[in-house]
Amino acid sequence: MALNTYILQIHCPDQKGLIAGTTQVLAKAGANIIDMTQHTAKDIETFFLRAVFEMDSASIGEAKRHIETIAPHLQLTWKLYDCSETPRLALFVSKTDHCLYDLLLKRRDGDLPCDFSCIVSNHTELGPVGGTFGVPFYYVPSNQDKNVQENRFREIIEETKTDTIILARYMQILSPAFTEEFKYHIINIHHGFLPAFKGAKPYHQAWHKGVKIIGATAHFATEDLDQGPIIYQDIQRIPETASIDNLVQLGKDIEKRTLSNAVKLWLERRVFVYAGRTFIL
């Protein structure tokens, strides 16, 4: 009998019996739990759980029915993911290519369990990268009406069956309507340690302040520029003698690893968004 792997995400008000109730309904449906992580955020009295389990795909409907029986009583909000279904991610870029190459190489090497559905750019310079990695490239210029541009994005997303957008240094601001439509399905890398130094040229801002640590932030894009829920951050200490150019070069390495770690966390269904902030299990 072939077994499929599934990931269950749950969040609900904290109360007694949540772990026991979850494990019992999964076991009753014939699931074999292979990993489970849970956390109670005491400040908001909210319980989060991520369970990885195996079971016969023909019986997954029974597992769903068992979860649905306890959901109203426990006030569960839950999502169930089938790991045999590979997420399809679109890569949005401008001219800078270090994050783009890093993600494509990690996918090629098997470090990211996804398919890249397309590369979308407001410039043509990175078109050959798509050919090298076998990923369709779409040029959508930014010197046009924002509605026209974003309608083209929607067409591409539908054509390529894209699940989520990765802004791998896409240096354009998306409209509030677009970010709301794809809420929590757009991941951005900001080349700065948010909430400090938001906006343009964060490394220049940091240098002029004489900072001793620089960082990068991967977050969900929302209508509030650089203010979306944070998925992953990383930092690096810098020497006093570093120039702005040194900071930019060091920052590129931080950006790459920050964005790839955030994408991996999302692909592994470890990211919970609740009340405008993230919890990572």
pTM: 0.92
CA–CA distance, 8 with 23 (Å, rounded to integer): 11
Instruction: Report which of 235, 213, 236, 217 is spatially closest to residue 227, judged by C-alpha positions.
Output: 217
pLDDT value at residue 194: 60
Q: What is the CATH number of the domain that holds 75?
A: 3.30.70.260
Whether residue 56 is found in the same domain as residue 94? no
Please tell me the predicted confidence (pLDDT) of residue 63: 92
How is residue 112 written in tokens?
Answer: 């990211």
Q: What's residue 195's pLDDT?
A: 64
Residue-by-residue DSSP string for 45-113: TEEEEEEEEEEEGGGHHHHHHHHHHHHHHHT-EEEEEETTS--EEEEEE-S--HHHHHHHHHHHTTSS-
Contact of 88 with 160, CB cutoff 8 Å: yes
213 and 111 in a common domain:
yes
Per-residue burial over 67-100, b if 16 or more Cβ lie within 10 Å, else e, is beebeeebebebebbeeeeebbbbbbbbebbbbb
- Could you say which of 38, 54, 82 is where a domain stops? 82
The CATH number of whichever domain residue 201 belongs to comes to 3.40.50.170
What total of structural domains would you count in the chain? 2
Between the two ends of the chain, the Cα-to-Cα distance in Å is 30
pLDDT at residue number 1: 61
Q: 40 and 16 in contact (C-beta within 8 Å)?
A: no
Instruction: Clarify whether residues 25 and 140 are in a common domain.
Output: no
Residue span of the structural domain in which 182 resides: 88-280
Which residues are marked as active site? 226
Domain-terminating residue out of 66, 82, 98? 82
Tell the residue number behind the tokens 């994050």, with chain if given: 99
Q: What is the mean pLDDT of each run of 10 residues along the chain (281 residues)?
A: 91 93 91 96 95 92 92 94 97 97 97 98 97 97 94 98 97 95 96 71 77 88 87 90 87 94 98 94 97
Residue 13 shares a structural domain with residue 142: no
pLDDT of residue 137: 98
Give the domain-ending residue among 23, 58, 82: 82
Cα-based torsion angle of the residue sequence 167, 228, 236, 244 in order, rounded to the nearest 10 degrees: 70
* Contact status, residue 165 vs residue 121, Cβ threshold 8 Å: no
Rounded CA separation 190/216 (Å): 6
